[in-house]
A and B are shown apart, each in its own frame.
Chain A
Amino acid sequence: MTTFLDDKSRETIVSGLPEDHDMWTNKVRRKFYGKLPPEKLLPDRQPSYVSSWIYVFGVLTVSALVVVLLSGAILAFKGPSWWHESGEGHFVNSLHLWSVEFFFFFMVIHLWGKFFMASWRGKRAMTWVTGMLAFLASVGTAFTGYLSQLNFDSQWISTQAKDGLNAAGVGSFFNVLNFGQMLMWHIVLLPLVVGIIVGIHVVMVRLRGVVHPFPPKGAKTHPADDMPWTGKYRRYDILKEGTIAMAIVLILTILFSVVFSSPDEKSITLQSWAQNDPIDFVTTATSELAGTSVSAAYSYPYNYVPDAGQKLGPFSLPSIFGVTIPVNPAQDFVLKPLETVVYNPALTSALQSYNSASTAQQTSWLDNYTKALDKATASGGQVIVRNGTYGPVPEMMSSLLVMARSGGLDTSLLSGNGFYGTDYTKPLLFLADSGYMAGIAQAQHLTGSQWGMMNETGNYPGQAWLWLYTFFYQIKPMSTSGNADVLVWALMIGLSGIMVAVPFIPGLRAIPEKTKLYRFIWKDYYRDEESKKV
């Protein structure tokens, strides 16, 4: 089948018929073609100075991203639990982990290279900005991936990360303890954001081309940064380079997955906690009932606690959104679950006695019981304390312990959200109040003072890219401040903004020219150009 355009030139086809020039479609096509003709989108020539290994790290980063997306797609296809249950699933998880490690590895080197080339010169600032935004969005995506692992690492990271996010007010709508929400961010929203930003970044690179070298020594003429290159060119097969890069990344990822596998420290539950450390469980549950636990004193977004919560100067950022995830530890962790127990007359009587007692009486029982728990012993799945005036509290705690050891408490704390329980806010807050969880984290070197946010369990590399975030917690005033989380977040947001805005900041943008590291990157070009002048 032939059309009236078949014998026309490409330019004529793009321009369309004269009477169509006012059409939106026609205008967009002409504009797009004018800016990005095929020879720019798929170039086969590059300026001759594009002759350094540093240039391959951009395409290596994109290749690693493709492997990340493919391995992630397989994991998504089989569901979030698959990789814990089968060798094949674990292997695909290893592919995902190592491709992410390679992605960041290549991206950071690419970023360093572009910084020392001052690659924002010549109207290329948006190329740098989109590159930095892609890096930041990737950090967020990787972070939600760590939260979605469904193992101990993800449990611990979520309980620690919530403080920073809550202090910054972000936790009011971005709940890291809600597995379902984090999984959706990780597999849908953030990959979409990263994909779009990377796409724009690549188009910007194609649109503006790679930045010119700084002028050689003694150069009388040199193309301006924002003008087309007028020097020599060399052959450049973009598809061949992309294919080779993809093969290298695939081989490396498979090799590392086969040799090193990936970590999977089993998650803990209220059941395993109650079974392994019943005294700690009862002590924590008593503190929830007494209102003395960390969760009970936690302000926004879980509760309104006067004068609690972190502030940035005079501002309380979480108070802007208020209580968006209501949690009442005494009711939610202890009393409501106990009320679901049936055919237990002793417990029913104990609950009636506790609920009808005055607040002063309840406090007295709980204080006495808390002190007695210091010398408690565990035997036969029960916690035994010396005789004292504890009212109905021992009966209530004994029943809660039985419920937890059977797994019923895990179910109870999740069932409040309906049949499909994917929000782990309550069980994780309860676990986070325990010494049991902190003890495991300490042994795995995951706590804040151990720079835990960037560590992985075992000897695996973790989120090394969070080094600065973790570092700020170790130094004053953050290490001793009650507002540490919000201070660190403010610092990180400020520094991230500076990194994005480097092309516009005098002094900072001059560093590459002053350090002259670019002379190594473009050494062949400078040698050729400067030897001509001798």
Chain B
Amino acid sequence: MAIAALIPIFASLINLDHPGHYITVGVISISVANFVVVVLMVVVFLLAIFLRFPKSKEHQA
């Protein structure tokens, strides 16, 4: 019960349940939330291919 009572408090930490915000350029209209997701996807992809991966011991087959 205590956990159930805490959930709405946690849930309202950052309340996204307000009227949405949108970016509109010509025929293109995208919600800020979707835009953030797409930008994050591109950024994470670029980081994934550019950042060095920890080196581990190699040996010949």
* Interface locus among A170-178, A456-464, A497-505: A456-464
Once the chains bind, are B45 and A113 in contact (CB under 8 Å)? yes
- Does B34 contact A464, Cβ atoms closer than 8 Å? yes
A524 / chain B contacts, CB cutoff of 8 Å: 52-53, 55
Bits for A456-492, please: 1 = Cβ < 8 Å to B, else 0.
1111111010010001001100010000000000000
- 9-residue interface stretch from A88-96, A281-289, A317-325, A339-347: A88-96
A166 to chain B, nearest CB (A): 25
Q: Which residues of B contact A398 (CB under 8 A)?
A: none
Residues from chain A with a CB closer than 8 A to the CB of B41 are: 105, 108-109
Is A222 positioned at the interface, with any CB of B under 8 Å from its CB?
no
Write out the residue numbers on chain A whose beta carbons fall within 8 Å of the beta carbon of B18. 458-459
With both beta carbons as reference points, the residue of chain B lying nearest to A460 in the complex is identified as B16
In whole angstroms, what is the CA distance A116 to B46 when docked?
Answer: 12
B4 CB to closest chain A CB, in angstroms?
5
- A108 and B34 CA atoms in complex are apart in Å by 14
Query: A232 on the interface (CB 8 Å rule)?
Result: yes
Instruction: Decide if B49 touches A54 in the complex (CB within 8 Å).
Output: yes
From 18 to 61 in chain B, residues with beta carbon under 8 angstroms from any chain A beta carbon are 18-22, 27-34, 36-38, 40-41, 44-45, 47-53, 55-61
Which residues on the A side are within 8 Å of B5 (C-beta)? 87
CA distance A451 to B31 in the complex (A): 9
For A101, the chain B residues whose CB sits under 8 A away are 37
B49 touches A261 (CB 8 A): no
B4, B10, B30: the one within 8 Å of A86 (CB): B4
CB distance B48 to A113 under 8 Å? yes
A474 touches B16 (CB 8 A): no
Give the chain A neighbours of B50 by CB distance below 8 A. 520
Q: A57-B48, A105-B40, A109-B45 are in contact. Are A232 and B19 (CB under 8 A)?
A: no
Assembly CA distance A380 to B12 (angstroms) = 38
> Once the chains bind, are A261 and B38 in contact (CB under 8 Å)?
no
Which stretch from A22-30, A45-53, A330-338, A362-370 is at the chain B interface? Answer: A45-53
Q: Which of A229, A259, A457, A517 contacts B20 (CB 8 A)?
A: A457
Contact (Cβ within 8 A) B4 A88: yes
- Minimum distance in angstroms from B47 CB to a CB of chain A: 7
Cα separation A1 to B13 with both chains bound (whole Å): 60
A451→B16 contact, CB < 8 A: no
Chain A residues with CB below 8 A from B33, complex form: 456, 459-462
The answer to whether B53 touches A261, judged by C-beta atoms less than 8 angstroms apart, is no
The reply to whether B58 and A48 form a contact with Cβ atoms under 8 Å apart is: yes
A263 touches B (CB below 8 Å): yes
Q: Does A217 contact B (CB under 8 A)?
A: no
A258 to B17, CA, bound (A): 14
Q: How many angstroms between the C-alpha atoms of A130 and B60 in the bound complex?
A: 32
User: A235: CB under 8 A from chain B?
Assistant: yes
CB-based contact A53/B59 at 8 Å = no
Give every chain A residue within 8 A of B20 (Cβ-Cβ): 444-445, 455-459
When the two chains form their complex, are residues B19 and A458 in contact, meaning their CB atoms are under 8 A apart? yes
Q: Which residue of B4, B11, B19, B49 is within 8 Å of A52 (Cβ)?
A: B49
CB pair A94–B11 under 8 Å, yes or no, is: yes
Query: 1/0 contact trace for A229-273 toward B, CB 8 Å?
Result: 111111100000000000000000000001111010000000000
A461 close to B37 (CB less than 8 A): yes
Contacting B58 at CB < 8 Å: which of A54, A233, A475? A233
A112 interface residue per 8 A CB criterion: yes
Other-chain contact of A233, B22, B36, B52, B61 (Cβ < 8 Å): B61
CA distance A51 to B58 in the complex (A): 11
Alpha-carbon gap, A474 to B26, bound state (A): 10
Residues of A within 8 A of B21 (CB): 459
The docked-state distance in angstroms from the alpha carbon of A56 to that of B48 is 9
A496 at the interface (CB under 8 A from B): no
Is A454 engaged at the interface, CB distance under 8 Å to the other chain?
yes
Q: Collect the chain B residues with CB atoms within 8 Å of residue A464's CB.
A: 34, 37-38
Q: Is A521 among interface residues, defined by CB-CB distance under 8 A? A: yes
A81 CB contacts on chain B under 8 angstroms: none
Can you list 7 A-B pairs with a CB-CB distance of less than 8 A?
A54-B49, A87-B5, A109-B45, A451-B30, A461-B31, A464-B37, A471-B28
A234-B58, A456-B33, A459-B16 given; name 17 further pairs at CB < 8 Å.
A87-B7, A87-B8, A90-B11, A105-B44, A112-B45, A229-B61, A232-B61, A235-B57, A259-B10, A261-B12, A261-B15, A445-B20, A450-B29, A455-B20, A459-B18, A459-B19, A524-B52
